[in-house]
Amino acid sequence: MALSDAPQFGPATALSCRECGTLYDLGPIFACSECFGPLEVAYDFGDVRREDIESGPTNIWRYRALLPVPENVATKPNLQPGWTKLIKADNLAAELGLRSLHVKDDSGNPTHSFKDRVVSIALEAARAFGFHTLSCSSTGNLAGAVGAAAARAGLDSCVFIPANLEEAKITMAAVYGGRLVAIDGTYDEVNRFCSELIGDELGEKWGFVNVNLRPFYAEGSKTLAYEIAEQLGWRLPDQIVIPVASGSQLTKVDKGFRELIKLGLVEDRPYRIFGAQAEGCSPVSAAYKAGHDVVQPVRPNTIAKSLAIGNPADGPYVLDIARRTGGAVEDVDDREVVEAIRLLARTEGVFAETAGGVTVGVLRKLVRNGALDPDAETVVLNTGDGLKTLDAVAAEARPTAVIRPSLEAFRTAFAN
C-alpha cells in the first residue's frame, strides 16, 4: 500500500526504522522486516511558524503541520483532544521544596486521559487506509478512547482488555457501544493475542491503533511536548517527569522537544527527562539502575494498572533518553502512589488516577534523593482522571464526620 504521495498524511513522507533506518512507504505496518525494529514517521516539515500554530484551534490540531494528518483534519469528526491545562503548581512546589513546578493535567481530555491524543492520530490513519474497525489492546484508558473516537467517526470498534481492570475503566470502555472483549490474562498477554489476530483473516481491515497503526498513534504524544513548550511561552522546561508504561509517551515527548529545537520554535537548551514507574511493574527502572540497555520483562503487580506493562517495547529508548539527557528512571511503591494522589489533590485540587500518583510520587522521591534540581523549571505529567481509579483512595478518602442535620450535632462533632 504505497501512500507516500497521499495528502492524507500532511508533512509525513515515509516510515523509518528506528533501529536500522530502513525506509518504507506510509502504510499500516509497524515493524521493520529487516530487524524487527519499530517504525516511526519521518517528515519533511518545511517552514513552521509560531504564528500559524497560535492561530490554530485550541486542540492538538493547532500542531497539524507537525503531525501525520491531513490539512483539513480539524473539520473531520474526531474528539479534538488536547490543549489541556498547564497548571502552575505553587502549593505543591512549596511542599516539595521546588522553585517552579507545573502540572500538565491531561485528565482534561474528552475521555479523561492522554490517550485521546494518540487515538486521534491513529483514527486519521485508519480512515486513510480504509479500515472499518478500530481496535486495540489496552490497560483501560486506551479502550475508552478508542470506543469514543470510533463512535464519533462512525467506525466499528472492538477493543481488548485484561479482565481484572478497574470497574470504571471497564464501564468507560463499554459505554460507547462497540465490542469490548475482556481477556483472562495480563496486558502483555492481551497484546500478544492482538499481534496474532492481526496476522489472521479475523483481523482483516482492522486498524489496531497501538499495533499496525502504532507509528501514527505514537506521534500523538508529541503534542504533549508542543503544548508544554507553547504554554511555557515557547520555552522548554529544564526537567520533566513522565510515566513509563510501554515507554512510547516519554520517547515521543523527547522527539517533540527535539523537533521544536530543530525548527527554531524554541531555544536550543538542555532538558532532562525522568521516567516514572510503579515498583510492582518497574522493568525499565530496574534496567536503568542496573546499568542495562535492554529490559528484562516482569509480571506486573501494582495498583497502577494503566502502567502495568511488564514487557515495554520502547523500554530501551527510555533508557537511552534518560541517560542522554541526564535524567533517570525511578519507581515508587503502591503506598507512595496513594500518598501522591492525595498530595496532588490536597495541594492543587487535581485528582489524578494511579498513573498520576506514580509521576507525582516519583517527582517527590527525585527531589528528596537530589536527582532533580530544586531551582530548575520542572513539569510533571498527570495523564488520567482519578475518577477512573477510585478504589486506590476510596478507603482513605471518606467523610470527616457523619451527623444528623443539626447545628448541635455539627458543634459536637467538631468540638475539638
Q: Which residues bind other proteins (CB under 8 A)?
A: 19, 29-38, 118, 136-139, 141-142, 187-189, 191-192, 194-196, 198-200, 209-211, 214, 217-218, 245-248, 294, 296-297, 299, 306-309, 311-314, 316
Least distance in angstroms from the C-beta of 214 to other proteins: 6
Which CB atom, from 186 or from 231, has the smaller least distance to other proteins?
186
**Of the two residues 91 and 195, which places its CB atom closer to other proteins in the complex?**
195
Q: How far is the CB of 48 from other proteins (least distance, A)?
A: 27
- Minimum Å gap between C-beta 57 and other proteins is 26
Give whichever of 67 and 284 is closer to other proteins, judged by the CB atom: 284
Q: What is the closest distance, in whole angstroms, from the C-beta atom of residue 55 to other proteins in the complex?
A: 32
CA distance 236 to 377: 9
Residue among 18 and 258 whose Cβ is closer to other proteins? 18
Q: Which is nearer to other proteins, 66 or 245 (CB)?
A: 245
CB 205 within 8 A of CB 199: no
Give 123's Cβ-side CA count (13 Å radius): 28
Residue with smaller CB distance to other proteins, 65 or 198: 198
Three-state secondary structure call for residue 208: strand
Q: How far is CA 132 from the centre of its chain?
A: 25
Distance in angstroms (rounded) separating the CA atoms of residues 396 and 392:
9
Helix pair angle (315-325, 248-262), 10° resolution = 50
Greatest C-alpha distance within the chain: 77
Is 230 exposed, middle or buried (CB count within 10 Å of its CB: 0-12, 13-18, 19+)?
Answer: buried
21: left (phi over 0), alpha (psi -120 to 50) or beta: left
CA-based R_g, the chain, Å:
21
Contact between residue 392 and residue 337 where contact means Cβ atoms under 8 Å apart: yes
| Least distance CB 383 / other proteins (angstroms) | 10
What's at 311, amino acid-wise? N
Q: Which is nearer to other proteins, 188 or 336 (CB)?
A: 188
Q: Which is nearer to other proteins, 31 or 276 (CB)?
A: 31
Alpha-carbon distance of 193 to 197, in angstroms, equals: 6
**DSSP bridge pairs for 134:** 157, 207
- Cα angle: 64, vertex 69, 73; to 5 degrees: 75
Which sign, positive or negative, has the C-alpha torsion 349, 350, 353, 357? negative
Amino acid letter, residue 375: D
Q: How far is the CB of 288 from other proteins (least distance, A)?
A: 16
* 220: helix, strand or coil: coil
* CB closer to other proteins, 329 vs 345: 329
Backbone angles phi, psi at 142, to 5 degrees: -65, -40
Residue 93 or 126: which CB sits closer to other proteins?
Answer: 126
- Least CB distance to other proteins at residue 122 (A): 9
339: alpha, beta or left, given left = phi > 0 and alpha = psi -120 to 50? alpha
171 alpha carbon, distance to own chain's centre? 20
CB of 247 to other proteins, least distance (A): 7
Q: Minimum Å distance from CB 386 to other proteins?
A: 18
What 3-state DSSP class applies to 81? coil
CB of 251 to other proteins, least distance (A): 9
Instruction: Find the shortest distance in angstroms from Cβ 199 to other proteins.
Output: 4
Yes or no: say if 189 and 160 are a contact pair by the CB < 8 Å rule. Answer: no
User: Which of 78, 191 has the CB closer to other proteins?
Assistant: 191
